[in-house]
């Protein structure tokens, strides 16, 4: 295995079409009507991985990227809004599920599915666990071929807003492989992590704890647990780019005197997914000090250069840096957060998510657009104001659950429900 693989090739030009989806659940099945929305933005050039043929299965997979070859194909789709192919064998769908203030992302492939984190918010007005189950049941009612099976469950880090739904997931669905950072978490997640450990012990479940010592190359970690998928027409690539840090790199303390190293956020498993010329990065709740380490590890490569970015730490002020946005050059950004309207503890309103300075940062870095809308953003905890938004930045607190369809040629389509109270369309 080469210690420093070559950089990834330039990605194909691609287009984004944005549509609004009216969603209802009827007899447990998802019903969607897709209606074109005027003002969808077009995406121009960028970079992403081309997925080469799958190497033979083994305990660990060699870095498998092709040589760096420029894409000299002329851009014959300038100004178009081509939607992704309707061929289900040649596209993946990223489902940003609505779990309030928390995170749960379902990634659908032709041959399987993976879930990253399990939400979410819980109070008198909202309970993420039944909401998560409702959305997953609707998905499996449509994908009956998957037999209520998750090929991979990733827990980015052991905080309650990322693991609350674990016992329900393990009761209701089959989980074949589990990836986490191997850390025990605090008393708030004892029940959830015990359920996970018991499930792994009682079933034929693959398990991988990702820490920095497992990342033996600049291509991160990709083995048969991290990437269990074997799709026929287009085989996805899943790899962990970061995980738990075994020793304090000298991150110092925060404004409250707490060690940054002791913050579970900074040990988040970072996941990159490639599907042909489409790519996605999820950084969990990684904060500034750990983000700097991630950037240093992959400096000189294109492993962080992606089409779709799930915004770190729910849009917190410390979860997305300028340098990270510059390294990613994303076309679309997704934020998993709750709406501003729930004025109770442990909500987006309490934390002030998402922050206005992060939205500013993303607006400068995200290359595509969305129909103009007005959204609520924070200047601090419990301090919100409204602003206009034109770039392709979507959030569950504004838009409800968001689906992003990405095909093998890199075309992207964003589907949202009817506007949520946190997102008011400007007519």
**Alpha carbon separation from 39 to 74, 81, 371 (Å, rounded):** 25, 10, 5
Within 13 Å of residue 281, how many CA atoms lie on the same side as its CB? Answer: 29
Residue 349 is given by DSSP the state H
Instruction: Give domain limits for the chain.
Output: 16-47+84-425
Confidence of residue 215 (pLDDT cuts 50, 70, 90): confident
Q: Which of 81, 110, 83, 105 is nearest to 94 (CA)?
A: 105
**Residue 82 token pair:** 């081509």
Lowest mean pLDDT among 31-40, 378-387, 406-415: 31-40
Residues 6+ apart with CB under 8 A from 256: none
Lowest mean pLDDT among 3-12, 110-119, 296-305, 382-391: 3-12
| pLDDT at residue 51 greater than cutoff 80 | no
Instruction: Please state the pTM of the whole predicted model.
Output: 0.82
At the fourth CATH level, which superfamily is domain 16-47+84-425? Ribonuclease Z/Hydroxyacylglutathione hydrolase-like (3.60.15.10)
3-state secondary structure of 154: strand
Largest CA distance in the chain: 57
Tokens 């799958």, residue located: 54
* Mean pLDDT computed over 369-390: 97
The pLDDT of residue 192 is: 97
Q: What mean pLDDT value characterizes the chain?
A: 82
Task: Give CA 94 to chain center in angstroms.
Answer: 8
Confidence of residue 373 (pLDDT cuts 50, 70, 90): very high
The pLDDT of residue 138 is: 97
The pLDDT of residue 7 is: 37
Q: Is 309 left (phi over 0), alpha (psi -120 to 50) or beta?
A: beta
Is residue 292 exposed (0-12), middle (13-18) or buried (19+ Cβ within 10 Å)?
Answer: middle
* The most confident of 19-23, 216-220, 292-296, by mean pLDDT: 292-296
The pLDDT of residue 82 is: 63
How many Å apart are CA 159 and CA 101, to the nearest integer? 12
Q: Which of 113, 100, 233 is nearest to 169 (CA)?
A: 113
**Alpha carbon separation from 29 to 140, 190, 382, 396 (Å, rounded):** 9, 33, 37, 21
Instruction: Express as a percent the part of the chain with pLDDT over 90.
Output: 73
**Residue 418 token pair:** 């009817």
| pLDDT at residue 344 greater than cutoff 60 | yes
pLDDT tens, position by position, 174-189: 999 999 999 999 999 9
3-state secondary structure of 89: helix
Beta strand ranges found along 255-392 (DSSP E): 270-275, 278-282, 308-310, 332-335, 369-380, 383-391
Q: Which residue has the higher pLDDT, 255 or 238?
A: 238
The pLDDT of residue 85 is: 79
How many Å apart are CA 53 and CA 83, to the nearest integer? 26
The pLDDT of residue 418 is: 57
How many Å apart are CA 406 and CA 412, to the nearest integer? 5
Contact 100, 120 (CB under 8 A): yes
* Mean pLDDT computed over 389-393: 97
pLDDT tens, position by position, 303-317: 999 999 999 999 999
* Mean pLDDT computed over 54-61: 40
How many Å apart are CA 335 and CA 397, to the nearest integer? 8
Q: Which residue has the higher pLDDT, 48 or 263?
A: 263
How many Å apart are CA 310 and CA 335, to the nearest integer? 6
Lowest mean pLDDT among 96-105, 246-255, 287-296, 332-341: 246-255
Contact 284, 179 (CB under 8 A): no
Within 13 Å of residue 33, how many CA atoms lie on the same side as its CB? Answer: 4
A 10 A CB-CB count for 139 gives 19
3-state secondary structure of 343: coil
A 10 A CB-CB count for 267 gives 27
Instruction: Give the end-to-end CA distance of the chain in Å, rounded to a whole number.
Output: 55
Confidence of residue 251 (pLDDT cuts 50, 70, 90): very high
| pLDDT at residue 257 greater than cutoff 60 | yes
| pLDDT at residue 400 greater than cutoff 80 | yes
Tokens 């569950």, residue located: 396
3-state secondary structure of 93: strand
């Amino acid at each position: 295995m080469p210690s420093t693989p070559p950089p990834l090739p330039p990605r194909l030009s691609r287009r984004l079409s944005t549509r609004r989806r009216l969603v209802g659940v009827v007899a447990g099945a998802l019903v969607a009507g897709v209606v074109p929305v005027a003002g969808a933005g077009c995406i121009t050039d960028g970079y992403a991985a081309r997925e080469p043929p799958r190497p033979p299965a083994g305990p660990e997979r060699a870095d498998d990227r092709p040589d760096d070859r420029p894409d000299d194909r002329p851009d014959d789709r300038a100004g178009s809004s081509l939607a992704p192919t309707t061929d289900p064998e040649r596209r993946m769908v990223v489902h940003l599920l609505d779990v309030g203030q928390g995170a749960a992302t379902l990634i659908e492939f032709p041959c399987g599915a993976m879930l990253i984190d399990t939400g979410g918010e819980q109070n008198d007005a909202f309970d993420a666990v039944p909401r998560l189950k409702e959305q997953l049941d609707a998905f499996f009612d449509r994908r009956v071929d998957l037999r209520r099976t998750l090929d991979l469950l990733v827990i980015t880090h052991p905080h309650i807003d990322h693991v609350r739904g674990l016992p329900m997931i393990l009761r209701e669905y089959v989980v074949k492989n589990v990836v986490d950072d191997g850390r025990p978490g605090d008393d708030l997640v004892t029940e959830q992590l015990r359920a996970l450990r018991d499930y792994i012990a009682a079933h034929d479940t693959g398990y991988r704890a990702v820490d920095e010592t497992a990342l033996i190359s600049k291509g991160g970690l990709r083995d048969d647990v991290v990437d269990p998928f074997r799709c026929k027409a287009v085989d996805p690539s899943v790899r962990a780019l970061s995980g738990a840090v075994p020793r304090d790199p000298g991150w110092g303390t925060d404004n409250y005197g707490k060690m940054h190293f002791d913050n579970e956020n900074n040990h988040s498993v970072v996941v990159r997914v490639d599907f042909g010329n489409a790519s996605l990065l999820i950084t969990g709740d990684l904060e500034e000090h750990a983000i700097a380490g991630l950037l240093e590890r992959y400096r000189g490569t294109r492993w962080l250069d992606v089409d779709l970015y799930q915004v770190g730490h729910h849009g917190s002020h410390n979860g997305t840096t300028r340098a990270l946005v510059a390294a990613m050059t994303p076309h679309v950004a997704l934020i998993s957060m709750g709406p501003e309207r729930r004025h109770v503890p442990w909500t987006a309103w309490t934390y002030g998510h998402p922050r206005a300075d992060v939205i500013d940062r993303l607006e400068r870095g995200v290359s595509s657009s969305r129909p103009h809308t007005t959204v609520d953003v924070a200047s601090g905890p419990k301090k919100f104001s409204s602003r206009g938004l034109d770039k392709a930045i979507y959030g569950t607190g504004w838009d409800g659950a968001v689906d992003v369809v990405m095909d093998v040629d890199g075309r992207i389509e964003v589907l949202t429900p009817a506007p949520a109270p946190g997102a008011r369309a400007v007519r």
